[in-house]
Amino acid sequence: MKFTLFLILSFLTISSSSIDSDVYIGKWEIVGGSIIEIYKDGNTFYGKINKRAERPLSNLNGLDNKNPLKELQGRPLLGMTILDNLTYKDGVLSGGTIYNADSGKSYIVKVWINSDDLDVCYIRAYKSFLFKTFIAKRVKD
């Protein structure tokens, strides 16, 4: 039993750490049609809105209407940074935040790539012990 658990943990560690940090760089389409472009500046990763969903839930005028800071409510959503200050460790991007323009709130975020398919990544936003995971697929130019 202990040996089996050791093998499983070893496999999980090896598979996640085998993903190079540069694999995250690129455009990722979330179910619904939004595209986030993940890029790297130094050792920090960011993500900006490259394309909005076909049928957005809110902010129909394309502006950051739900932002709690009045001075930011007029900024365009396209090109806006929504993944902020992520660092790469053990095959995962974490330590930063994701901004939800539909609510105007930021959440702790973790991003990881499926080790079996490098064209699939998961974006998990945390609120306390609750979380929501979004699946994104790599956009090929």
Domains delineated in the chain: 2-138 (2.40.128.520)
Distance CA 100, CA 93 (A): 18
Which phi and psi (to 5°) does residue 21 adopt?
Answer: -60, -35
* Residue-level pLDDT, tens digit, the chain, 141 residues: 544 434 343 444 434 446 899 999 999 999 889 999 999 999 999 999 999 988 888 888 999 999 999 999 999 999 999 999 999 999 999 999 999 999 999 999 999 998 899 999 999 999 999 999 999 999 997
Q: How many residues does the chain have?
A: 141
